[in-house]
Structure 1
Amino acid sequence: MRFIILALSILVSVLAKDEPGCQDRSSPARKIMVEALSNDDCEEKCLNTLDCKSFQFRKFKCVLYIAGSESKQEVNKGVKCNDGWIGNPITGSCFMIVREAMDWKTARNKCRSFGFGSQLAKIRCSLDNRFVKDVLAKDTLKNVGYWMGGTDFYHAGNWVWTDGSPVSCFTDWHEGEPFGSWNGKNEDCLAWWRSKNWEWNDVNCETKIPAVCMIPVKKCEEGWTLNPTSGTCYIILSKKQDWKTARQNCVMLNSELISLRTSQEYLFVKDFLNPSDEENFWIGGNVDNTGSWVWSSNKSPISLAAYSNWSSGQPSYSKNENCLKLRRSNMEWFGANCGRELPAVCARSILQKASKSKLSLMHIKKLWFLLSKSKC
């Protein structure tokens, strides 16, 4: 039954039409139905209605979603973003204002260099657009505009985001825009523009202005826990098993036994494991056929890693202790007999999804038995 329920929930999420990150995550909310002539008219009514957090246009009817008291408490909790980023508490999107003046392509590459899915801002709903406009309106440096991620450079009039998706779900063009050219120069890149009330304007791509980078909402699949700094999702397999079996079960979940490579990840996993009653867990280190300790995920030597936390006297290089065990109470590492049965911690990037490979019925039953005992 659990398998069926989760499968249905995944199917529903795939078929959902709402753009991830453009949904108002606060709840509960009141709904108000008013008349509207268009989607823009509906949005205008939302903008002019106190505590309106989102809207939906349905054939001359406009549904306004008004935040209730409980939803305000949820919103005020804020959203976890990396240092230097600001979060939209309604959608969960994270933004960074890059003050350096640069052309559009440089801005695109600059945003990508931050990692974790960062990109020039891709605005798919009024909630994120209004949030950024409010931030830019407080700009004391009086910059004329800020780059976002839209362009029609590749096909005139066909505006797309940097990931190739169309600029169509939501737009906020200033009246008369996009114009296409100015003073004999093509205007193929998208920006928020101060003189146009921070509405959208097409600009020559060589113009040097600051930019807005964005990390879309990050969310792990059900049962997994997100480290928002690294973009890694974790799950505990509570059923005790030998190291090889634990790794195989992680792989079947399109993940690996966890590799602790940074102090930040160490601190996060320490908190993640803290409520557990178990003291020892399998993690992803083992001795390879050359006698060296390596991370099983990519066979890289543990000795070359920037971070390690071996217990005193470890590793012992005993022939019978060739797999890596983590002690929860002090987060120290120990070599252990690979046949010992322990719970395990799996990890995968948030960009990875559950494996699409066909599993046997036996494997499916086995995985769901393990997950039914996992920490959620």
Structure 2
Amino acid sequence: MKWAVTLVVALVALATASAQTNPCPMGYINFSLDASTPVCLRFATEFKGTWDTMRFVCQSEKADLAKLEGQLHNQVYRYIQQHPDLQDEAFWIGGSDAQHEGYWVWVQDNTAMPMGTPHWYPCNGQPNGGTKMNYACLYTPDFYFHSCCNTYTIYAICQI
């Protein structure tokens, strides 16, 4: 009987510690820069889809495609580099200029996306592609922002 009580206490302590260390829902990883503001991301790799399809997948989880501003983009890049299964893939993120050509916004809150380096791929003038490539993605092997065509079927990064 004493061992059963000890086991229950240990399980409760473990569950409490887990809840305190990851404030994100199951399947999401905490990418926060500080303890007070969790940034919960999930690499949606169950199947590939278009930007619209993968945004719907994220929204069905009460999330949206990721808004990778500032150091968060660098953290995601490092995470991908530490996970070989992600390194040959591309991922939709929450940027688009579909509503107004050349004016890129984060779709979650309609704020302007930063243009140029360090986020956009510098070698071929990203974003480019005109009205055919209106959706932001992280593309292998560099994982900078790229303008991509909605019909591409790739994975996504969801954010709560």
Query: Could you say which TM-score interval applies, normalised by the shorter chain?
Result: 0.7 to 0.9
Shift of 1:106: 0.8
Counterpart for residue 155 of structure 2 = 210
Q: CA, structure 1 residues 214+139, in 2 after alignment: closer, same or farther (shift >3 Å)?
A: farther
Higher RCO (CA-CA < 8 Å; seq separation 6+): 2
Q: Distance between the aligned counterparts of 1:110 and 1:171, measured in 2?
A: 28
CA shift for structure 1 position 142: 4.7
Give the direction of change, closer, same or farther, for the CA distance of 1:141–1:131 in structure 2 (3 Å limit): closer
- Counterparts of 1:143-222 in structure 2, within 5 Å, are 143-163=88-108, 164-168=110-114, 172-175=119-122, 176-181=125-130, 186-195=132-141, 197-215=142-160
Q: Pick from 93, 101, 106: which aligns with 2:39?
A: 93
CA contact (8 A) 2:52 2:150 kept: yes
RMSD: 2.2
Distance change >3 Å, CA 171–CA 123, structure 1 → 2:
farther
May I ask how many residue pairs the two structures share in their alignment? 132
Query: What residue number does 2:68 align with?
Result: 123
1:27-55 CA-to-partner distances (Å, cap 9, x unmatched) read xxxxxxxxxxxxxxxxxxxxxxxxxxxxx
The 8 Å contact of residues 143 and 209 in structure 1, kept in 2 or not, is answered as no
Alignment of 1:26-175 (within 5 A): 78-91=21-34, 92-99=38-45, 100-115=47-62, 118-126=63-71, 128-137=72-81, 138-140=83-85, 142-163=87-108, 164-168=110-114, 172-175=119-122
Secondary structure at the residue paired with 1:132? helix
Q: Please, which runs of 5 or more residues in structure 2 have no aligned partner?
A: 1-19
Partner residue in 1 for 2:10:
none
| Bigger Rg over Cα | 1
> 1:109: how far off?
1.1
Normalized per residue, the structure richer in helix is 2
CA distance in 2, matches of 1:78, 1:172: 29
Q: Distance in 1 between matches of 2:105 and 2:112?
A: 4
Displacement of 1:90 in angstroms is: 2.0
CA shift, 1:134, in A, is: 1.6
Quote the Cα distance in structure 2 between the aligned partners of 1:89 and 1:112: 21
Structure 1 runs of 4+ aligned residues shifted over 6 Å read none
Q: Which residue type is aligned with residue 73 of structure 2?
A: N
Q: CA deviation at 1:161?
A: 1.2
Distance in structure 2 (CA, Å) of the matches to 1:139 and 1:119: 25
| CA positional deviation for 1:168 | 2.7
Q: 1:150 to 1:139 in 2, by over 3 A?
A: farther
Q: TM-score, normalization: structure 1?
A: 0.33
Given the superposition, is the C-alpha separation of residues 78 and 129 from structure 1 closer, same or farther in structure 2, using an over 3 Å criterion?
farther
**Structure 1, unpaired ranges of 5+:** 1-76, 216-376
CA distance in 1, matches of 2:156, 2:84: 12
SS of residue matched to 2:48: strand
The Cα shift of 1:139 comes to 3.8
What is the CA–CA distance in structure 2 between the aligned matches of 1:79 and 1:194, rounded to whole Å? 28
Counterpart CA distance in 1 for 2:99 and 2:30 is 32
* Change over 3 Å in CA distance of 1:187–1:145 after alignment to 2: same
Higher strand share: 1
